[in-house]
Amino acid sequence: MSRRKKMYEGKAKVIYEGPEPGTLIAHFKDDATAFNNEKHDVLEGKGVLNNRISEYLMQQLGDIGVPTHFIKRLNMREQLIREVEIIPLEIVCRNIAAGSICKRLGIKEGERLSRPIVEYFYKDDDLGDPLVAEEHIAAFNWAGPQELEDMVSMTLRVNDFLSGLFAAVNIRLVDFKLEFGRRYEGEMVRTILADEISPDSCRLWDITSGKKLDKDRFRQNMGNVTDAYAEVARRLGVMKDQPRLKVITNGDDE
């Protein structure tokens, strides 16, 4: 496995060449970073959990007709995905104020927003992924007008669907980040959902207690990060075949 060609290494995943043209393999690492790499740690088992949670959520979204890059899970840490050209934007959707919007606008964490807010961040680590407006996206041609429209409508659809899915297991979807890619199909270019959807890229609060079940536990040094991710997986009904996470955190094979 290790002799495969590495195409790209990010903070939480490694992307390898896939078995067929147009495919890639995403390998979920245990590394966690925050504040643009200032804070780094290895959280044993996180990659396994995110692989499973993202698989489940992407599959559910695929089932309602949202096009995604997910093809199938290969093993505990890896999934086969469609190769796309990543659009250099992070599309964030917020239902409740938390994180950067609170700092930026002086809003109290936990305040319910009167409507979902979609924000765009330009993907550039050196710049710290700055917030940008539609004007910047158009002027610098990071995405075309149709692509942007497709990304926003898919994001709102994902928000409605995942809000319901999480509410059913007593979890509030506070906010999340999506990434999209271009898929070239002959003469056609399609915008499809890419990257991952996991507690690394969402804020998830227990509805009853308000307990944080996401990466804010790491960002804010709250501890029990992977326990919280495992709780999300358990409530979603994934990892049912592997109740004891602690013994299955190394190796790529099941």
Q: Across the strands, what pairs with 131?
A: 121
Comparing CA positions, the residue from 33, 31, 73 lying closest to residue 53 is 73
- Shortest reach from residue 54's CB to ligand ASP, in Å: 15
Smallest distance, ligand ASP to C-beta of residue 180, A: 17
Tell me the one-letter amino acid at 67: P
Q: Which of 3, 35, 141, 253 binds ligand ASP (CB under 6 A)?
A: 35
**Per CB under 6 A, does 92 bind ligand TMP?**
yes
Distance linking the first and last C-alpha atoms of the chain:
14
Is residue 91 within 8 Å of residue 118, measured between CB atoms? Answer: yes
What residues contact 40, with CB distance under 8 A and at least 6 apart? 31, 32, 33
- Interacting residue with ligand TMP among 59, 100, 224, 242 (CB under 6 A): 100
Distance CA 67, CA 74 (A): 20
Q: Which stretch binds ligand TMP (CB under 6 A): 16-24, 46-54, 72-80, 173-181?
A: 173-181
Q: Nearer Cβ to ligand ASP, position 18 or 51?
A: 51
From residue 51 to residue 70, the character string flagging contacts with ligand ASP as x (rule: CB under 6 A) and all else as - is --------------------
Pick the binder of ligand ASP from 23, 29, 31, 33 (CB under 6 A). Answer: 33
